[in-house]
Structure 1
Amino acid sequence: MFVKVHPPNKMKGGSNKGSSSKIINYLEKENNGKDEKESELFFNHSSDKISAEEAQMMIDKNNKNIGKDESKFFMLSINPSDSEQRHLIEKVTGKTVNNINELTFDERNLVFLEVKKYANEVMGEYARNFGRENVTSEKDLVYVAKIETKRSYVHYSDEVKHNKNVRRSQQELRETLKGASPEEAKKTKEIIANLDNKLLRNSEGKVITTGMVKEGFNLHVHVVVSRNNVLQNTKLSPLSKSRGGEQMLNGKKVMQGFNHEQWKQRSADRFNSMYNYKPNVNDRYVPKSKRQDRSLIMDTIKGKLDITRNIKGKIKGLATEMATSNMMSTERMAITETVQTAKNIAMIVTNPKSAVISIAKQLASKILTNAKYKT
């Protein structure tokens, strides 16, 4: 289970310093073309039949004492893994399916009821994570949530990045054909053709690109939560960097900050206990403090990837495209000082035409022999 606070500058619908109308309208996208019975409404701890107009009003009217240029609301998301979704569906319906569309209308609603119940529990954990005496449950918050069942590939999806890197390698190899001998040209063309087999595709055989709808289980929940608590006497920001400290407010000591790791861990634990779920290695939430060993490897790979963008020009890295195929993890690790190490290594590489051709073929060869992926 993965829960997340979305950075305001990356939220769909733009700024969170004004009305919530744009983000609410964006979350209505899956209702387009559906009749009233099939449309999925907003919900919270007290109602599961909140219209878009009511949702916007609830958030926009809860802004007492919040300045014009201050954040008025935040967007969160609750993202169960594939196996967690399968487990929940089987527990609720007794059926094993490969897509939520295989459920009947009534079965789907039963599953959604459980998802809503769990989402409200996550918001309870969110409230308690601020450590305020007057904010102890989801009932102390003003929020609206929406279930979605579809996801699309975005430009930073691992699958999209992988395919872009394969295409880039093919293009770079095509550039080496100029002036190459007939024998070299023949071998290079074979490598270019074989790289097509490394492009990731969906079940219909279509190459995965930005905007393509993902297959399988993609059920998730978006939450829009007001910065103010329900009484509008306490501001709550999950973006506060201070954690565990205290400050004086109205003559009383109050906790500062929001511990994201604690919220994520408690939300995952809540799902496990509610539905008797035994998480596998991929589902188990791992705090950042315990990811060091794995992140070091990933940082090294990504560092080398990011410093190489044009094999025809100055060669800035030795292991770019070949590393890409090993980046299908859900982890998103920050680029560290390893980048500088990769740059230092890259400086020893010369760039005459023969070296460019040789290195391009080595990279392509590595891609062709890398691990296979699920599409």
Structure 2
Amino acid sequence: MYITITAQKIGGNYSKSAAGFVAYLEKENQELAPDEMEHFFNQYEDNISADKVTREIDGNTAKLEKTEPRFYSITVSPSKYELKQLQNNSEDLKKYTRELMKDYVASFNREVNGRPISIDDVKYFAKIEHTRSFKGSDKQVQENQAFASEILNLKNEIRKINRGEFQGDVASREKRISQLEKQAPHKQNGERIVQGMKKEGAQSHIHIIVSRKDASNRFSLSPGSKYKASSVELNGKVVRRGFDRDAFFKNSEKTFDKTFGYQRNFVETYKARKSFIKNPRGYFDSLLKLPAPEKAIAFKMMKESGIPMLPSIPTNKAQLALKVFNRLRKGIDIAVKSSSIGI
């Protein structure tokens, strides 16, 4: 499970409207027939229009400054193993979203009118998408870029030759293009991966747009708070503040497992991934102590995620050299950023 929470951000200040982001979330529907479209939903309603989403979010921004986000975006990307556990991607992910948002609410160390906040205090809208495209920031696109640039230059030269604007041999350039296409390191179904190409396999994921203000438009609820969970005294009154991201990430996977009866492998857990970053030796020590079947699945998942693997798995902790861990840590970071694993 890979979950990100990001603030609305456009330029130096925050846009006054969510219209641009909502339109972006509607992009997949443009290619679908009416009966195939996925519509926005919230905790209690389905089939919510994009206009209503924009209107509700834009109308819930009382007393926010230009330098404060109007909303936050939560993206939830289950792994292919998690998606395989689902019976109906759309309905199951909708069900999971509604349970996930309860975890989101529970992660705030806040009160509204003297009581803990509830799901009814949060204004959010969500949408399921089933495809993903390669972005310019993806490793595959970046590592193919040198080949893409040379191919583009050669094609431009061929066009100029055909127009009589340039002297040269078309056949040799076409042969070179064919060679470059074969040499490009990243392909999908035999084709060089380029920006905008649809990713193969199960790609269903969830986009959630959640208002910075609570449903009453009176209180600020920021998951971007620098305070994890604390209390402070203001004007003689103790005020609770903060958002516990660790708790949210841990509970989000527990909720998925409970809802769909999913048996989560060690390497899929938020606790294990966090341990890898802070204590890689301890992480691998725990990994090597797993029962043989679970350990085999763990290494299979790691390999599929693009994490650099050792030629042979060391059995002696002393063999786990620091340079190896630095290499593996880099691989974990790449895998997380490509949405293949992690929260």
TM-score scaled by structure 2? 0.67
Per-residue deviation at 1:7? Answer: 4.3
What is the aligned partner in structure 2 of residue 240 from structure 1? 225
What is the aligned partner in structure 2 of residue 87 from structure 1? 85
Render the CA deviation track for 1:158-177: whole Å, top value 9, x for unaligned: 22233347889xxxxxxxxx
The letter for the 2-side match of 1:156 is S
Distance 1:14 1:137, change over 3 A: farther
Report if the CA contact (8 A) 1:14-1:22 is conserved: no
The letter for the 2-side match of 1:143 is Y
Render the CA deviation track for 1:260-295: whole Å, top value 9, x for unaligned: 222111101110111110122443223535423449
Per-residue deviation at 1:248? Answer: 4.0
Separation in 1 of the partners of 2:26 and 2:181? 40
Distance 1:144 1:158, change over 3 A: same
Higher strand share: 2
SS in 1 for 2:191: coil
Report if the CA contact (8 A) 1:147-1:220 is conserved: yes
What is the aligned partner in structure 2 of residue 3 from structure 1? 3
Report if the CA contact (8 A) 1:261-1:287 is conserved: no
What is the aligned partner in structure 1 of residue 193 from structure 2? 208
Distance 1:224 1:37, change over 3 A: same
Distance 1:287 1:133, change over 3 A: farther
Q: Of residues 57, 61, 64 in structure 2, which corresponds to 1:63?
A: 61
Report if the CA contact (8 A) 1:44-1:145 is conserved: yes
SS in 1 for 2:35: coil
SS in 2 for 1:291: helix
TM-score scaled by structure 1? 0.62
Render the CA deviation track for 1:63-113: whole Å, top value 9, x for unaligned: 12323442111111111001100111xxx2xxxxxxxxxxxxxxxxx4312
Render the CA deviation track for 1:325-371: whole Å, top value 9, x for unaligned: x84851359xxxxxxxxxxxxxxxxxxxxxxxxxxxxxxxxxxxxxx
The letter for the 1-side match of 2:335 is T
Separation in 1 of the partners of 2:212 and 2:268? 30
Report if the CA contact (8 A) 2:121-2:214 is conserved: yes
Render the CA deviation track for 1:166-220: whole Å, top value 9, x for unaligned: 889xxxxxxxxxxxxxxxxxxxxxxxx79955612101x1111222110001100
Separation in 2 of the partners of 1:126 and 1:158? 31
What is the aligned partner in structure 2 of residue 292 from structure 1? 278
What is the aligned partner in structure 2 of residue 143 from structure 1? 124
What is the aligned partner in structure 2 of residue 371 from structure 1? none
Q: Which runs of 5+ in 2 are unaligned?
A: 150-178, 285-322, 339-343
SS in 2 for 1:330: helix
In percent, how many aligned pairs have the same letter?
31
Distance 1:194 1:33, change over 3 A: closer
Report if the CA contact (8 A) 1:85-1:217 is conserved: yes
SS in 2 for 1:243: coil
Count of matched residue pairs: 263
The reply to whether residue 331 of structure 1 matches residue 309 of structure 2 is no
The reply to whether residue 256 of structure 1 matches residue 241 of structure 2 is yes
Separation in 2 of the partners of 1:42 and 1:122? 16
What is the aligned partner in structure 1 of residue 109 from structure 2? 131
Q: Of residues 233, 238, 254 in structure 2, which corresponds to 1:269?
A: 254
Per-residue deviation at 1:15? Answer: 6.3
Report if the CA contact (8 A) 2:181-2:192 is conserved: no
Report if the CA contact (8 A) 1:146-1:223 is conserved: yes
Q: Which runs of 5+ in 1 are unaligned?
A: 93-109, 169-192, 298-318, 334-375
Separation in 2 of the partners of 1:288 and 1:278? 19
What is the aligned partner in structure 1 of residue 29 from structure 2? 31
The letter for the 1-side match of 2:59 is K
The letter for the 2-side match of 1:6 is T
The letter for the 2-side match of 1:122 is L
- Tell me how large the CA RMSD over aligned residues is: 3.5
Per-residue deviation at 1:133? Answer: 2.9
The reply to whether residue 121 of structure 1 matches residue 107 of structure 2 is no
Q: Of residues 41, 44, 56 in structure 1, which corresponds to 2:42?
A: 44
The reply to whether residue 73 of structure 1 matches residue 53 of structure 2 is no
